[in-house]
Amino acid sequence: MARVDHIGIAVRNGEEAVRLYQLLGFRLTGKEYVEDQELWAYFLEGDDGSRIELLEPTGGVIAKFIEKRGEGIHHIAVEVDDVRVLSKKLKEVGFRLIYEEPKKGARSTLVNFIHPKTSYGVLIELIQK
Ligand code: ZN
């Protein structure tokens, strides 16, 4: 299974940003507080199942991201079969992973991230459902 699961966008105010995507035709399918990452995630879905997640931080790395770089695209999430196995494989060939062990993501997923320094400037979230 290799497909883009969602695009994560860092925003200061999720409620406000949701309105833009609703105008574009996306449906808001949920909102969840992700303890591990200190953020509110707003889930938006397009007609073809494409998804956008708006990330409104209450602290943590996303807050730092916005401080340093402003709002905007934060990561691209790729669905994978086994995040543990793949993380190990990626490390073996020289990619840097953010977490030693995968963490719990939104909607009871398991996630890890490839550091943008080794993934051509893009923070890639590996997501296992
Ligand atoms: Zn994500």
> Rounded to the nearest whole angstrom, what is the distance from the C-alpha of residue 111 to the centroid of ligand 1?
8
> Rounded to the nearest whole angstrom, what is the distance from the C-alpha of residue 33 to the centroid of ligand 1?
13
Token pair of 30 as six digits: 């949920």
> Rounded to the nearest whole angstrom, what is the distance from the C-alpha of residue 73 to the centroid of ligand 1?
11
pLDDT average per 10 residues of sequence, the chain (129 residues): 93 98 98 91 96 97 95 97 96 96 87 95 95
> Rounded to the nearest whole angstrom, what is the distance from the C-alpha of residue 94 to the centroid of ligand 1?
23
Contacts of 71 (CB under 8 A, 6+ apart): 9, 10, 11, 12
> Residue 64, Cβ neighbours under 10 Å: how many?
12
SS3 29: strand
The pLDDT score that the predictor gives to residue 104 is: 87
How many angstroms separate the most distant Cα atoms in the chain? 44
SS3 68: helix
> Rounded to the nearest whole angstrom, what is the distance from the C-alpha of residue 106 to the centroid of ligand 1?
8
> Rounded to the nearest whole angstrom, what is the distance from the C-alpha of residue 29 to the centroid of ligand 1?
15
The pLDDT score that the predictor gives to residue 66 is: 97
CA torsion, ordered 12, 122, 24, 109, to nearest 10 deg: -80
Return the exposure string of 13-44: e unless at least 16 CB atoms fall within 10 Å of the residue's CB, then b.
Answer: ebeebbeebeeeebebeeeeebeebebbbbbb
> Rounded to the nearest whole angstrom, what is the distance from the C-alpha of residue 93 to the centroid of ligand 1?
24
The pLDDT score that the predictor gives to residue 28 is: 98
Going along the chain from its start, the domains and CATH numbers come out as 3-128 (3.10.180.10)
